[in-house]
């Protein structure tokens, strides 16, 4: 994987321009001379991609933390040689240093998937993916770092993390955190070491023909624990054969944390407690409201105390649920 953060840190600040032109210090991506990392005068990162001339007009993109300008006439000076090219310039506008670092990480993951001398359509699709991800960072969070850490720990525990990543939720409106073929897996966390969790009625009535499983995890803050961003990078290493899932990983993280992402990526949690505490329950058998409710009633949610119920380890759950075994015991 390309380490854009390291490459960026080797760049000096560019010289001042007398005519107010945008000036960048640049260096090519390793093995990709048409893709360059840039550093602006105000120490913000940018990606510059050489484009094939295209008569189509692409509207610029301007978000809170991102600006994309297409078909920009640029002069690249590398190795004492100057070259005039047509390029797309993708600039990170974030003031927050942690968000700039995140830009470098996700931009590397998205653009390293491009072919050498990629077509305009391929470049535009990659830029749209980056813009969509950064657009999520301007929205409120839909899940806190504790819940996200619990889901990532479960992915890390899987013997087939690629399959579990394929099953991971695409948006906030899905009833289960993971859904693939017959598997429906919901992960709940607790910072109080109590198996006391909130559910929607739909989560406790898995669709007919599916296997609904609850994963319960104790997640506590710990100053010497594992940082959320460290766990994310660990999950990345499970996905080297599937760069598309690396992009999905960062997309779900951004969608979950929203505008809080720069502040919470450094939050640390007790990894050993989390891993040791993971147990599973059959969602169809836990105490719940399942009966008919009046037509006028919707969005039924309730809290269930599971402390007195017999829980299952991953090995035991795999003996009873085939779809679970394929992911956790394969």
Kindly report, residue by residue over 46-91, the tens digit of the pLDDT: 999 988 777 777 899 999 999 999 988 888 877 777 778 888 999 9
Interhelix angle 243-257/97-111, rounded to 10 degrees, is 150
- The whole-model pTM stands at 0.91
- Whole-angstrom distance, CA of residue 161 vs CA of residue 147: 18
The residue with tokens 């991609």 is: 49
E-only strand ranges, 228-293:
268-269, 279-282
pLDDT of residue 55: 74
* pLDDT 10s digits, 152-164: 999 999 999 999 9
pLDDT of residue 140: 94
- Whole-angstrom distance, CA of residue 23 vs CA of residue 46: 11
Contact 248, 168 (CB under 8 A): yes
Helix (H, G, I), strand (E, B) or coil at 140: coil
């Amino acid at each position: 994987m390309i380490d854009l953060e390291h490459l960026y840190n080797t760049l000096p600040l560019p010289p001042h321009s007398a005519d107010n032109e945008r000036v960048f210090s640049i260096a090519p991506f390793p093995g990709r001379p048409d893709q360059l990392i840039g550093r602006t005068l105000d120490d913000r990162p940018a990606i510059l991609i050489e484009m094939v001339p295209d008569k189509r007009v692409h509207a610029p993109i301007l978000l809170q933390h991102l600006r994309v300008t297409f078909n920009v006439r640029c002069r690249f000076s590398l190795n004492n040689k100057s070259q005039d090219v047509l390029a797309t310039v993708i600039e990170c506008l974030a003031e927050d240093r942690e968000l700039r670092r995140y830009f470098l990480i996700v931009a590397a993951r998205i653009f390293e998937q491009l072919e050498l001398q990629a077509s305009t359509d391929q470049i535009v699709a990659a830029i749209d993916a980056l813009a969509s991800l950064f657009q999520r960072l301007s929205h409120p969070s839909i899940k806190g770092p504790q819940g996200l850490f619990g889901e990532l720990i479960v992915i890390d525990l899987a013997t087939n993390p690629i399959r579990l990543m394929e099953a991971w939720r695409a948006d906030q409106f899905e009833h289960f955190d993971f859904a693939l073929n017959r598997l429906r897996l919901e992960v709940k966390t607790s910072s109080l070491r109590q198996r006391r969790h909130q559910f929607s009625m739909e989560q406790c009535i898995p669709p007919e023909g599916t296997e609904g499983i609850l994963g319960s995890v104790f997640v506590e803050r710990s100053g010497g624990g594992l940082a959320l961003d460290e766990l994310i990078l660990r999950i990345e290493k499970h996905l080297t054969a599937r760069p598309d899932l690396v992009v999905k990983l960062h997309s779900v993280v951004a969608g979950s944390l929203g505008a809080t992402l720069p502040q919470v990526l450094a939050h640390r949690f007790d990894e050993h407690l989390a891993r040791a505490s993971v147990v599973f329950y059959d969602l169809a058998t836990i105490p719940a409201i399942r009966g008919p409710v009046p037509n006028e009633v919707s969005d039924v949610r309730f809290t269930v105390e599971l402390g007195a119920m017999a829980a299952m380890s991953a090995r035991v759950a795999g003996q009873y649920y085939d779809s679970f075994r394929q992911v956790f015991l394969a």
